[in-house]
Structure 1
Amino acid sequence: MELIIGDTPLHLACRNRDINPEIITTLLKKSCIPNEKNEEGEHTITLACRNRDINPEIITTLLKNSCIPNEKNEEGDTPLHLACRNRDINPEIITTLLKNSCIPNEKNEEGDTPLHIACSTFHINTEFITTLLENNCKPNEKNNKGNTPLHLACRNLIISPEVITTLLKNNCKQNEKNNEGDTSLHLACRNYRITQEIITTLLKNNCYPNEKNNEGDTPLHLACGNYRINAEIITTLLKNNCKPNEKNNEVNKANAFFFNTNENGNGECM
């Protein structure tokens, strides 16, 4: 375990993957300050929420001993942000934090809410997503780049259709655009590991198949430019009324199929 300047014994205990909850209680009874920060701006509960093996009882103990539930570190992350980033953490901890006045829509320095963080994490825990949405996380909040949680989920290399369905059922706006003009379908078509099932789910939930981003690209342009994408996805887009001859803003990219051969030198989409 790396030692950080300014760590107190309580900091170290909260970072210890094998710590007994009784030790935390003992330290607090001996006047360890629960909200003391180390030189990296981390305090005890943020360190505990980074710890993938932390016992939920420890989080409860810290909160009962006046740990500030919405204290931010130098990146602007609250304990809830860090818990949502920690995909191996016990889901009970998310619930505990929310029940103890953690603000579900607080933003960090990147403009991300805990729901953004949860949707960005590899192997997204669907239980995290559901718990956050049930506790009033705003499904259409945008970060500094204009991305909603649905944008980030569609961009995630390891994403299950269940997560997309959960977000859509909770009123995520499927055609919302980010700062680049991309909708969730655009980002899904950029994602080389996206599945046909997710593309179909988005289209069945009224994603606009011919919406253009700031470069004039439709989802079909991006799918055809994505040389690692499953060819069946191209077929799915075309069957759902994507226009094959739509032009983007660049004169040398006459249509979606030319975009593919021009960018990657292959003719798979032809």
Structure 2
Amino acid sequence: MLCTTTTTTSPLNSFGSPWPDLNDGLFYSDAVSTTSDSGLTLIHFYSSKYKNSAPLQGWLQRIHNGQITIDGEVVKEPKAILRDGMELVYHRLPWREPDAPYLLQVLYEDNDMIALNKPAGLQVLPGGLFQQRTVLMQLQWRASKGSSSLETQGSHPVPVHRLGRGTSGILLCAKTMVAKTSLAAFFAEGTSLIGDSSNTDMKQSKRRKISKIYRALVNGILKQDKIIIKQPIGTMRYPGVAKGLYVASASGKPALSKVEVLERDSQLNQTLVQVEIESGRPHQIRIHLSFIGHPLLGKP
């Protein structure tokens, strides 16, 4: 159970459009190259190159459904021969994404950035089953409607960092390229300093322009009031996870978390902690707290 510290705001200062029942699907593009693809049949190309997406019969069905175009024309012949320079597009049909909240509270806004109170259950950027039900989509819809706060010409608001789908808290979004570059650099500076062991003391946070502070409910009772965790985080191979699973690993990248106990509940055998992360490794808080024997409550 995890959230960043947030500030309350009036419900009137909120925005968001209800999600459509179905999203728009996805479009995947490929270009036929002379060296490897030219001369192959359409079915051979897809069933061999993307065999993890669907078996042979699955790709045959997609072709017969008219989900694949060549140079903008629907092709339903699986044995169509591909030639160098052809543009292929596969249309993944629309689907209903899992339920997710859509209202976002505005905590702060100016001409360069907007700070949102992201609710738990809402994904920040597209990924997996969530391609439309994201913070990014709500920002884009708001900008396209010409909302007074996003009416600046050329404004393309985007989140500059991520919060996990199950995490609530403050999310900073840039409205200009200059703001995006500056904020991204501020977030990156702490992570870059972690690689220098001389900078992993308590004074480092004074040099940071952005601090990331979370609250988490963990299993068990932490005996120490304050703990500094410097366990590196890396990846390991794991079935069903193409890019690997992020874990505590001696050969991983440096990571630093400062944990402070806020409240202990002996009856429920759980502890409320505040965690300041100096680096921004994937799943850092979950991994670090599990590493010291106190995993997040309710997390697999």
| Shorter-chain TM band | under 0.3
**Whose Rg is larger?**
2
TM-score (norm 1): 0.25
Larger relative contact order, structure 1 or 2 (CA cutoff 8 Å, min sep 6): 2
Question: Hey, which of these two has a bigger chunk of strand by percent?
Answer: 2
